[in-house]
């Protein structure tokens, strides 16, 4: 990715059409992928996603492995959302 594309990926509407990565709509991932229930963000038919404690609560665990596991779950869910029909 180019530098502007990398910076653009830090926004709430990530995507790089040049590389075939579609814009996925509004995404917030501080404590899970907020594109589905219960927040009801995203598509008209939201997909249920995992919600973890707010970022300050995750940080207070002082357990890097737990944070890696939470990040892995979020990453898996985002990959699933890219493949789901919209």
Would the pLDDT of 59 be above 80?
yes
Its domain, for residue 63, covers 3-83
Counted domains in the chain: 1
Which one of 2-6, 12-16, 76-80 scores highest in mean pLDDT? 2-6
How far apart are the C-alpha atoms of 81 and 46, rounded to whole Å?
10
How far apart are the C-alpha atoms of 51 and 69, rounded to whole Å?
13
Would the pLDDT of 1 be above 70?
yes
**Per residue in 24-48, pLDDT tens?**
666 666 777 765 444 555 555 666 7
Residues 6 or more apart whose CB falls under 8 angstroms from that of 9 comprise 1, 15, 16
Residues 6 or more apart whose CB falls under 8 angstroms from that of 36 comprise 42, 46, 47, 48, 49
Query: How many H-runs (helices) and E-runs (strands) does the chain carry?
Result: 3, 0
Q: What pTM does this model have? A: 0.58
């Amino acid at each position: 990715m180019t530098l502007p594309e990398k910076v653009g990926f830090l926004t709430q509407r990530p995507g790089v059409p040049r590389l075939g990565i579609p814009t996925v709509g509004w995404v917030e991932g501080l404590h899970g992928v907020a594109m589905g229930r219960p927040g009801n963000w995203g598509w008209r038919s939201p997909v249920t996603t995992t919600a973890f404690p707010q970022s300050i609560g995750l940080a207070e665990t002082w357990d890097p492995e737990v944070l890696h596991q939470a990040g892995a779950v979020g990453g898996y869910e985002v990959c699933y959302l890219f493949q789901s029909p919209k």
